[in-house]
């Protein structure tokens, strides 16, 4: 690892997708609690396959050198521990790039990290096939920005680098709004599909459609009280458009519940419920979903 290295911590679908692309243009190390096989295969959205040998490492045994960028690509609930484990081994303060859903870890690590902190909000779609392969299911775009707009040039450089690596990216000045918008979409889709074990498109049918509408209304009123600007097309249009575009998907939270993994419940519903409480807004649907997900058990197979 040297001072040009991009260290990616979190070897799930997003981490591997990022590593397989960035490794074309910069030195990359992919780290996790256990090291993956170095030889990895990427299937592109067009169905082509290419393999590449990556530098892989165990988080506990990272070389003691400071990379230029530390990308945290873990799930939101694992980000804090992964950050602490990585930083305990790195002598300096790299640019920290946070790829998490929700809006919980971002302000917290922005406060704690001694170097620049960049937030990424991405619509890239990917899933893993075992330990040595990742499928890039659908091309998206990644927005990059920092919460206080103090590191615009770092965001632009990173967006350029991702572009050179074949991942569309744009530096933006309103990343906080974009993170809230993604959170709102996730809040309207993920807890419901995880609770009822359905694909996203089934939300268009009865009895789920009115439930989605009620959640959108709760989310819209909470975010209005937080002065988060609504999307140009409005909340309803945004949510129903994502549901249509991802109709066949099993959302990430459903996959987590089915696999018996923790969910991103706290990162997605937590900030909304905290804001509802601060402003004295009733959020019965969100509270009920939160309580039911807190007790979610893996599907009996
Ligand atoms: O981001 C998603 C997720 O699965 O977490 C959505 C937009 C809901 C697509 O499935």
d(CA 231, CA 242) in angstroms, rounded, equals: 13
Distance (Å) of CA 81 to CA 21, 72, 91, 97, 258? 25, 11, 17, 15, 24
Write the CATH number for 124: 3.40.50.720
Residue 169: inside a domain: yes
Residue 274: inside a domain: yes
Instruction: Give me the catalytic one of 20, 182, 216, 257.
Output: 182
Query: Are residues 184 and 168 located together in one domain of the fold?
Result: no
Query: Are residues 147 and 211 located together in one domain of the fold?
Result: no
Res 38 pLDDT > 50: yes
For tokens 């409480």, name the residue: 277
> Average model confidence (pLDDT) for the chain?
94
Which burial class, exposed, middle or buried, applies to 55 when counting CB atoms under 10 A from its CB (0-12, 13-18, 19+)? middle
Tens digits of residue pLDDT in 200-252: 999 999 999 999 999 999 999 999 999 999 999 999 999 999 999 989 888 99
pLDDT in the model for residue 1: 77
Q: If you measure from the C-alpha of residue 125 to the centroid of ligand 1, how many angstroms do you get, rounded to a whole number?
A: 9
Distance (Å) of CA 281 to CA 177, 220, 226? 20, 11, 11
Substitution candidate for ligand 1 out of 189, 241, 257 with most atoms within 8 A of CB: 189
Reading the block at residue 37, the tokens are: 């096989």
Query: Are residues 159 and 222 located together in one domain of the fold?
Result: no
Among 173, 200, 222, residue at a domain's last position: 173
Among 131, 151, 173, residue at a domain's last position: 173
Query: Are residues 94 and 23 located together in one domain of the fold?
Result: yes
Domain residue limits at 14: 6-173
Substitution candidate for ligand 1 out of 126, 142, 192, 200 with most atoms within 8 A of CB: 200
Tens digits of residue pLDDT in 124-183: 989 899 999 999 988 999 999 999 999 999 999 999 999 999 999 999 999 999 999 999
67 touches 91 (CB < 8 A): no
Residue 1: inside a domain: no
The total of structural domains in the chain comes to 2
Q: If you measure from the C-alpha of residue 88 to the centroid of ligand 1, how many angstroms do you get, rounded to a whole number?
A: 32
- The alpha carbon dihedral of 231, 97, 88, 19 has a sign of positive
- Assess whether the previous peptide bond of 207 is cis (omega < 30° from 0): yes
Query: Are residues 146 and 233 located together in one domain of the fold?
Result: no
Reading the block at residue 63, the tokens are: 């070389």
What is the CB-side half-sphere exposure of residue 15 using CA atoms within 13 A? 27
Query: Are residues 80 and 193 located together in one domain of the fold?
Result: no
The mean per-residue pLDDT over the stretch 263-283 comes to 97
- Quote the pTM value: 0.93
Query: Are residues 128 and 211 located together in one domain of the fold?
Result: no
The DSSP secondary structure of 1-68, one letter per residue, reads --TT-EEEE--SHHHHHHHHHHTTTS-EEEEESSPPPSEEEEE-TTS-EEEEEPEEEEGGG--SS--S
Q: If you measure from the C-alpha of residue 186 to the centroid of ligand 1, how many angstroms do you get, rounded to a whole number?
A: 6
Q: If you measure from the C-alpha of residue 123 to the centroid of ligand 1, how many angstroms do you get, rounded to a whole number?
A: 9
Substitution candidate for ligand 1 out of 185, 191, 199 with most atoms within 8 A of CB: 185
ipTM comes to: 0.95
Residue 52: inside a domain: yes
Residue 114: inside a domain: yes
Spell out which residues line ligand 1, taking CB within 6 angstroms: 185-186, 189-190, 200, 242, 246, 249, 251-252
Query: Are residues 59 and 121 located together in one domain of the fold?
Result: yes
Write the CATH number for 185: 1.10.1040.10
The mean per-residue pLDDT over the stretch 256-278 comes to 95
d(CA 45, CA 47) in angstroms, rounded, equals: 5
Query: Are residues 220 and 139 located together in one domain of the fold?
Result: no
Query: Are residues 75 and 135 located together in one domain of the fold?
Result: yes
pLDDT in the model for residue 35: 86
Residue 301: inside a domain: no
Q: If you measure from the C-alpha of residue 187 to the centroid of ligand 1, how many angstroms do you get, rounded to a whole number?
A: 10
Residue 299: inside a domain: no
Tens digits of residue pLDDT in 60-95: 999 888 999 999 999 999 999 999 999 999 999 999
Among 144, 173, 202, residue at a domain's last position: 173
Query: Are residues 64 and 83 located together in one domain of the fold?
Result: yes
75 is catalytic: no
Query: Are residues 134 and 247 located together in one domain of the fold?
Result: no
Residue 30: inside a domain: yes
């Amino acid at each position: 690892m040297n001072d040009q290295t991009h260290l990616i911590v979190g070897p799930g679908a997003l981490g591997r997708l990022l590593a397989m692309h960035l490794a074309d243009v910069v030195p990359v190390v992919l780290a996790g609690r256990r090291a993956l096989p170095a030889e990895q295969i990427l299937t592109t959205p067009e169905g082509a396959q290419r393999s590449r040998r990556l530098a892989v490492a165990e988080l506990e045994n990272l070389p003691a050198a400071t990379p230029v960028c530390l990308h945290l690509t873990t799930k939101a609930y694992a980000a804090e521990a992964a950050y602490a484990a990585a930083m305990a081994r790195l002598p300096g303060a790299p640019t920290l790039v946070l790829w998490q859903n929700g809006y919980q870890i971002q302000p917290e690590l922005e406060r704690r990290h001694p170097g620049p902190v960049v937030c990424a909000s991405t619509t890239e779609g990917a899933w893993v096939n075992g330990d040595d392969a990742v499928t890039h299911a659908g091309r998206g775009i990644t927005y990059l920005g920092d919460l206080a707009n103090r590191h615009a040039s770092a965001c632009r450089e990173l967006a350029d680098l991702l572009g050179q690596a074949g991942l569309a990216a744009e530096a933006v000045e309103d990343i906080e709004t974009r993170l809230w918008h993604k959170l709102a979409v996730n809040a309207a889709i993920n807890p419901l599909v995880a609770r009822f074990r359905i694909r996203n498109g089934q939300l268009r049918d009865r009895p789920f459609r009115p439930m989605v509408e009620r959640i959108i209304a709760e989310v819209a009123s909470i975010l209005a009280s937080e002065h988060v600007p609504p999307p140009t097309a409005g909340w309803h249009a945004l949510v129903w458009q994502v549901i249509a575009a991802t109709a066949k998907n099993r959302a990430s939270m459903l996959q987590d519940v089915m696999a018996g993994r923790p969910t991103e419940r706290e990162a997605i519903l937590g900030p909304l419920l905290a804001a509802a409480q601060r402003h004295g807004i009733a959020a019965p649907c969100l509270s009920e979903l939160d309580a039911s997900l807190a007790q979610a058990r893996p599907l009996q197979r």
